[in-house]
Structure 1
Amino acid sequence: MRTVRVTVVLAALTGALVLPGVASATPSSGALAKVHTAGRVEVGGDSLKYSWPGVYFEGRFRGTGVGIVLDDSDNDYEVEVDGSTVATLVTPGRTTYWVNGLTRGVHRVRLVKRTESPWATSAFGGFVAAPGGAILGRPAARHRQIEFIGDSYTVGYGNRSDSRDCTADKVARTTDANLSFGALTARRLNADYQLNAFSGRGMVRNYNGSDPGTDYRTYYDRALLNVDGDVWQNPGTWHPQLVVIGLGINDFSTAINPGEPWTPDTLMAAYRTAYQGFLDKLRARYGPRTTIVVSATYMSNTTVFAQIAQQIVQERNSRGDDRIRYWYYSESGLDYAGCHWHPSVHDHRIIADRLGEFIATLPLRW
């Protein structure tokens, strides 16, 4: 399997050929009704629009080939057929990509957004069948649902990189949300999932004090991150039994700069207050049976993040909400070999292992 730009590429599926086509292979609006996605999407004409990393689309078709209608010049995608990756599409633009030469029969296709682009809106126009074939009814939604909320660690920032020194382009090309610990954990549990993660954002303070006046909560409710005031409308199908939050690294990992409106004490107080309010919001949205995990990890220059996260959970538990849990994972065994000392694919697999072990201890009803 090789990366696809605007070339013909042999895929890693026997006899398969991936051909960039033209945008004329546009599906009908009925084709979108045959697509399964759990991500935050908005319907816009004959396409589904979205911004968050890790959004995926799944379909079923009969025949020897399938086309994927896309309009996205900012992101990279993984294309899977019958569980195997057959192509990586790099900033494909407005086009239809074809996977042909498959064995005649019924197949499953999955398209997943690997990269992060909060400044852009992507569009997926559905799957189209090769001549003589047909798109079949949408795959069934999974009963289990997990929502991951976080920052660059949750995104999978630069996790495929072969070095810690990365340009902006290298970060984009080596970020793979499909191999983030959240995606790995969900797939192991056969769960649908959302990766609602935004690199550099904190609960109240962004990395190194950047973009003052905004934080993760500014964007959480949106489907389209670059559209001010946008609000994702839950179609009534998203009711996660589990929510995993990882916000705090950016709040506390860098020293407070001159001119920032914080002292160490006021930052901790603001973080605690904002976190409690965010938990109130999630509890009101998803109800009392959803288990919410407040996660924290090792930080080389401070332990305050983990301490406050644990205190927040203790406060909730003391008020009678025992479905908010604290999860800490250490740095043992992690190499942080991704871009800018972020977890590598190796690390994400280890974190997914540890998260899976922790989830097994939770009182989930799924």
Structure 2
Amino acid sequence: MRNLSKVVSLLFITIFTLGIAKNPVQEIGNLQVIGTQLSDQHGKAVRLIGTSFGWSNFHPRFYNAKAVKWLKKDWNVNVVRASMGIEPENAYLQNPNTNKKLIEKVIDGAIKEGIYVIIDWHAHVIHTKEAKDFFAEMAIKYGKHPNIIYEIYNEPVKDSWEQVKSYSEEIIAEIRKNDDDNLILVGCPEWDQRIDWVQQNPIKNAKNIMYTVHFYAGTHGQWLRDRTDAALKAGIPVFISESAGMEASGDGKIDDAEWQRYIDWMNEKKLSWITWSISDKKESCSMLLPSAESTGNWKISDLNESGIKTRDYLRKYDYRGHFDQNFIWKGRFEKSSENSGKLIGPASSVEFQFQGNSVEFNVKNVPYQGYYNYISVEIDGKYVGRFKVDNNDFKKFTFDASDLSRKVHSIRIYKATEAAMGEVFFDGKGVSTIAFQNEPKKKIEFIGDSITCGFGNDETDKKCGEGQWFDQHNAYLAYGPVLSRKLDSEFLLSSVSGFGMYRNWNTEKWEENILPDVYNNLYLRPSGTAKFENIFQPDLVSICLGTNDLSSGDGKKERLPFNKHKFIGNYIEFVQNIYRKYPNTKIVLLNSPMVAGEQNKLLIECLLEVKKFFSNNTKHSPIEIFEFQEMKPEGCGYHPSSKDDQKMADELFPFFSKLLN
């Protein structure tokens, strides 16, 4: 957590920089691509966040300098996109002068306002001669301005990448005759979805270019993010030059959850993005209603649902594309909006900042199998306690700020119980918050069983043996979160009590799902749940499984002997799954503090076999193994107490610190 002086300094810097950023281009300067990151004139990361005008031939009335000025002032954009229609009726091929004059009004307006402008050749078919002539003219007329970005082919539909690449090389060469350094955006086949084809054969010997990807959240899901992630990893710089929340047709219902996933992903990857479009056609993606004036000054009543949501999104970025969040969600969660959603996994959390000496918020229990839940609360970095969430109606919680000398406070609400209990729904609507930036930190995912969940480590409300089996749960005090706070790193828990690598505490594989079966499900349940996506991308994955595989169960039910080969085989497959999900992560395998003697020797032998299997894998860092000191746990149900969890975290600290560095 940041102390008060840091918060005040950040607030001052934010206010100051916003104040002087009346001309973002003057502050940012000539754009340059460094690796895969768009950067400013000094080589520091920057993002362009803005919106696109609709087709110039279909929506000419919005192509004017006053509309540009309004988008900068009210929608907070640092870039606009002038989409010059090429093939349809009254577009460039039929009326070149009319369409050029339209987009030049937008270009001139953007230069005057000090924001960037994308000159978009909005075509679906290659027109090499016409494009060369057009971009040569644009480079001569505007190439001296750092505001200018050239998008040389909007959305190739049927062309192969070889055809698009050859065309792009000609257009790039033509532009560079008169403009040495302004950014050029290159499209890719199949409506800007086949970035993987670009990855296999990128353009050589061309500087300051990026490749465009387009998404419509109602149609394009995780598969496109995965494809783009692979391209980024391979060194392909990506610019999202068109996007929206509905179907790819531009119409239909907005998929709020998927659109939010894309926003979170683009923030995580520091991608620049443009939304579609400033137009008033009767369809979801046209963000204005016919009542909207041509020259801006739009009221909320002039915007449709997409326009309202887009404006809200855009207004959260500063002039450099830094995203100011009011609520930061971590762990396994599912948002309904930025300020409301479900905390699912153990120690999943939501954080926000507020002013004043107290804060109120609402949560409700979303039970699974009739259970209730607990939350743990931290204010200004200090643990406040654990609190029961025991009904299905919203329950108001009020907390006093612990340090009254602070003007700005932070509060973080954690789910203390695990996924098997159901979810905690947090509703932040109406909560008075202060926007702030999520500081980048190293990331760790802890995969495990009840030990990782924090089972039995908190008897402050009920003593061991009283109440439900989870009444002593507190994931906040588990070794993973404790260690992460000590390392000043972000964390995520993927753990289920009783589960193992090839069998569970009292069941064999054919009787019940095991951890590898449910891991890829967001809710850590076998079916009917959302997919657990790979946005988090941890630097380190810690796996602590085996306690339940080696267990004798309850001693009443017949238990098969431990099958070393099944354990090792499942472990190897699970590690392979982790590598597919997180290509750049390091993996460490932990033994169990609750397994000792000959069983511990057997567990270590198995882990060594897993490590050996990957010894020739040159794509990833070598797998590491950590062995806890033998422990006699003092928590409930022969599990670690909170003091035991602290000891485990202390043991792991130097080892994990070295791996993260």
- Is the CA contact 1:66–1:128 (under 8 Å) kept in the aligned structure 2? no
Q: 1:116 corresponds to which residue? A: 418
Which of 1 and 2 has greater Rg?
2
| 1:182 has 2:182 as partner | no
> Which residue number corresponds to residue 230 of structure 1?
529
Question: 1:158-307 residue pairs with structure 2 within 5 A?
Answer: 158-161=456-459, 166-167=464-465, 169=467, 171-209=469-507, 212-226=511-525, 228-234=527-533, 236=535, 238-254=536-552, 263-264=561-562, 267-287=563-583, 289-297=584-592, 299-300=595-596, 302-303=599-600, 304-307=602-605
Q: Alpha-carbon deviation of 1:177?
A: 0.9
Residues in 1 aligned to 2:557 and 2:382: alpha-carbon distance in whole angstroms? 51
What one-letter code is carried by the residue in structure 1 that aligns with 2:348?
Answer: V
Whether contact under 8 Å (1:42, 1:232) holds in the other structure is: no
Mark the CA change 1:112 to 1:308 in structure 2 (over 3 Å): closer, same or farther: same
Q: Which residue number corresponds to residue 37 of structure 1? A: 329
Asked whether the equivalents of residues 344 and 415 of structure 2 are also in contact (C-alpha less than 8 Å), the reply is no
Structure 1 residues 213 and 80, CA gap change in structure 2 (3 angstroms): closer
Query: Counterpart amino acid of 2:357?
Result: T
Question: What letter matches 1:346 in structure 2?
Answer: K
Query: In structure 2, what is the equivalent of residue 344 of structure 1?
Result: 641
Greater RCO between the two (CA within 8 Å, min separation 6)? 1
Partner of 2:354: 61
1:14 alignment partner in structure 2: none
Q: Is the contact between residue 520 and residue 531 of structure 2 (CA under 8 Å) also seen in structure 1?
A: yes
**Residue identity matched to 1:41:** F
The count of corresponding residues between Structure 1 and Structure 2 is: 324
> Is 1:309 paired with 2:602?
no
1:292 offset after TM fit, Å? 0.6
Q: Answer whether contact 1:40 1:232 (CA < 8 A) is retained.
A: no
Q: Secondary structure at the match of 1:207?
A: coil
Task: Report the TM-score when normalising by structure 1.
Answer: 0.79
- How far the C-alpha of 1:113 sits from its partner, in A, is 1.4
Deviations, residues 17-59 of structure 1 (Å, cap 9, x unaligned): xxxxxxxxxxxx9799621122121123673123211111111
SS of the aligned residue for 1:66 comes to strand
Kept in 2, the 8 Å contact 1:156–1:175? The answer is yes
Work out the CA distance in 2 between the residues paired with 1:343 and 1:254: 19
Q: Is the 8 A contact 1:78 1:88 kept in 2?
A: yes
- Residues 4-15 of structure 1 mapped to structure 2, 5 A cutoff: none
Q: Which amino acid aligns with 2:331?
A: G
The CA deviation string for residues 131-186 of structure 1, in whole angstroms up to 9 with x for no partner, is xxx31114414321110000011111101248x98336264232211111100110
Please provide the CA RMSD for this pair.
3.0
Flag the structure with higher helix content: 2
TM-score of the superposed pair, with normalisation by structure 2: 0.45
Q: Give the Cα–Cα distance (whole angstroms) in 2 for the partners of residues 339 and 292 of structure 1.
A: 30
Shift of 1:326: 0.9
Pick closer, same or farther for the CA change 1:354–1:66 going to 2, 3 Å.
same
Instruction: Report how far residue 192 of structure 1 moved.
Output: 1.1
* 1:100-147 deviation line (CA, Å, top 9, x unaligned): 477472111111111224142321112754xxxx31114414321110
Deviations 1:238-265 (A, max 9, x none): 11101100011101121798776x554x
Q: Which stretch of the first structure deviates more once superposed, 166-175 or 114-123?
A: 166-175
Structure showing the higher strand proportion among its residues = 1
Show the counterpart of 1:8.
none
1:51 aligns with 2:51: no
Q: Which moved more, 1:349-358 or 1:320-329?
A: 320-329
> Per-residue deviation at 1:361?
3.1
Deviation readout 1:286-326 (Å, 9 max, x if unpaired):
11x31111111352462322220122112212444443111
SS at match of 1:209: coil
Which residue of structure 2 lines up, in the alignment, with residue 98 of structure 1?
Answer: 398
Identity of aligned residues (%): 25
Preserved CA contact (<8 Å) 1:52 1:117: yes
User: Structure 1 215/284 Cα, relative in aligned 2: closer, same or farther at 3 Å?
Assistant: same
2:114 maps to: none
Structure 2: gaps of 5 or more residues: 1-308, 317-323
| Aligned equivalents of 1:269, 1:235: Cα separation in 2 | 29
